[in-house]
Structure 1
Amino acid sequence: MNFRIEQWRAWAPALDSAADWYAWSQAPEAVADDGRQPDVGFLPAMQRRRLSRLARMMFHVAWPLAEGQDPLPLVFVSRHGETPRTLAVLEELGRGEPLSPTQFSLSVHNAIIGLWSILRSDTSEMSALAAEGDGLEQAMLEAATLIGDGAPAVLLVVAEENPPALYQPYIDDVPFSYAVALLLRPGTDWRLELARAEGPRSRWPHALELVRALCLEQHSLQHHWKHRQWNWSRNRA
């Protein structure tokens, strides 16, 4: 598939600006996840109250890319989703307490794109994916399909939140909370190909590896997950 990354934006604790991410890309390391939340001050206070930390991360990186654009199809991908809210629901069940309807409705995987659609008054086609370690590439396939069907642009967002302590022994692919948004358009700037091959697992989640490539102006990168090899290449012309 071919595409153009017109704009990108990323957030993690203590990493927000392009300069922050460029510095991190030169010497990447796990950042302390102190629970801080990104700024979503562009939303009214009553609307902000319903947003979880994961939703705030998604809105923080995606909203600026959508501003001034026509209605945008959206592909949101998160392997683990709203783990704090899901755990809270399970704990309520374990204590024999009645479930909070709000907590339950906002814990489902497509709740974030539902909130996005409502708050932006955007009824474009939107998808919420739960993929494994190559969720970025799976989302790219979805976005490429939308572009192939005639969408002039697609917003793609990858977001993961540091899991609650109870889950941490079982989740090893979230070094710290992060969100990455890409504004994609038709073009030939980038090419993504899939091959069947095994290889070493990337040190960082694929979305963060792509941020590094964009910051350092790399012309290629390769991601492996199980038997899938994803080859990214940038047109040098």
Structure 2
Amino acid sequence: MKMVLSHFNYWCKAKDEAQLANAKIEMFDPTSKSPQLDWVPAMQRRRLSHYAKMALFVAANSAEKSGAESMPVVFASQHGDFHRTSSILKDLAHQEVISPTSFGLSVHNAVIGLYSILTNNQQPMNSIAAGENTLLMALIEASIQLNNPNIYEVLVVYCDQPLPDDYARFDDVNSCDLACAFVVSKDNEQGITLSLTPSDTPNNTPLQAKQFVEFLATNKTNDALVLGSQSAWHLHIDEVTPC
């Protein structure tokens, strides 16, 4: 499979100073809690979690850079807004009343639904969760959608964050707050031309999403990366044309 990735942007925050020191990519505002969303109405913005703000921030940036009013969207997250879900579970355990708003915003496709409403984007959208292969499956889904002769570009959004403290022992990939977005197209005069081919060597390195962001942020022709811990794919940069 071949595709062109353009209008890539990301927001990342280190979990600790050691992770920040070892990062190959810039950690935006490591002391801030959330990215700014001035384009979202204040009343709606107050209801958003940090996770939702990260996702909306990168999605809006890529869409704005592309100049397209609306396009299909593939949203991907391994855990979703699990901090909100964890809070709801605690309320249930203490037999407290559950907030309908909080519950509605906890489902996996809630963020992409908000994006659709806030931007009046009525194009097809779907939400993917596939464990460690989540980002890889989002790329493959976008590529499949581009086989539709009526679809010329797809916005891909990925977002995840470390699990809450009560579930931290299940987070074996040393997660950090990370969101990225980019536009995938069949053919584009500007962007990163990328080839995807099946690989015989699975990538068992933790936090593959961070590897992918580093791969794109420091892109050079002939760079390569393997994504996927089960169905592994080899990503190769064929050409880089600055956007």
Q: TM-score range by the shorter chain?
A: 0.7 to 0.9
Note closer, same or farther for the CA distance 1:114–1:29 as it changes in structure 2 (3 Å cut). Answer: closer
Note closer, same or farther for the CA distance 1:32–1:124 as it changes in structure 2 (3 Å cut). Answer: closer
Tell me if structure 1 keeps the 8 A contact 2:10–2:179: yes
Tell me if structure 2 keeps the 8 A contact 1:33–1:176: no
Note closer, same or farther for the CA distance 1:82–1:33 as it changes in structure 2 (3 Å cut). Answer: farther
User: In the TM superposition, what is the alpha-carbon distance from 1:42 to its structure 2 partner?
Assistant: 2.2
In the alignment, is residue 59 of structure 1 matched against residue 62 of structure 2?
A: no
Distance 2:218 2:101 in 1: 43
User: In the TM superposition, what is the alpha-carbon distance from 1:227 to its structure 2 partner?
Assistant: 3.3
Distance 1:151 1:34 in 2: 40
Of the three residues 211, 214, 217, the one matched with 2:213 is 211
Note closer, same or farther for the CA distance 1:200–1:111 as it changes in structure 2 (3 Å cut). Answer: closer
- Per-residue CA deviations over 1:135-189 (Å, capped at 9, x if unaligned) read 1110011111221113111110111012210011011235211101111111381
Note closer, same or farther for the CA distance 1:86–1:235 as it changes in structure 2 (3 Å cut). Answer: same
In the alignment, is residue 163 of structure 1 matched against residue 160 of structure 2?
A: no
User: In the TM superposition, what is the alpha-carbon distance from 1:214 to its structure 2 partner?
Assistant: 2.3
User: In the TM superposition, what is the alpha-carbon distance from 1:29 to its structure 2 partner?
Assistant: 9.9
Q: Tell me, what secondary structure is at the counterpart of 1:148?
A: coil
Distance 1:213 1:62 in 2: 19
What is aligned with 2:2?
A: 2
Letter in 2 for 1:123: Q
Distance 1:182 1:170 in 2: 29
Letter in 2 for 1:185: S
What is aligned with 2:145?
A: 146
What is aligned with 1:177?
A: 177
Letter in 1 for 2:218: L
In the alignment, is residue 124 of structure 1 matched against residue 123 of structure 2?
A: yes
- Per-residue CA deviations over 1:98-121 (Å, capped at 9, x if unaligned) read 221111111010111110111011
Letter in 2 for 1:42: W
Gaps of 5+ in 2: 15-19
Q: CA RMSD in A?
A: 2.6
Q: Which is further off, 225-234 or 113-122? A: 225-234
Letter in 2 for 1:192: L
Q: Tell me, what secondary structure is at the counterpart of 1:49?
A: helix
Q: Tell me, what secondary structure is at the counterpart of 2:187?
A: strand
Gaps of 5+ in 1: 15-20
In the alignment, is residue 221 of structure 1 matched against residue 224 of structure 2?
A: yes
What is aligned with 1:74?
A: 73
Count of aligned residue pairs for this structure pair: 226
- Per-residue CA deviations over 1:13-37 (Å, capped at 9, x if unaligned) read 27xxxxxx9x942xx6999976711
What is aligned with 1:192?
A: 196
Of the three residues 45, 49, 66, the one matched with 1:48 is 45
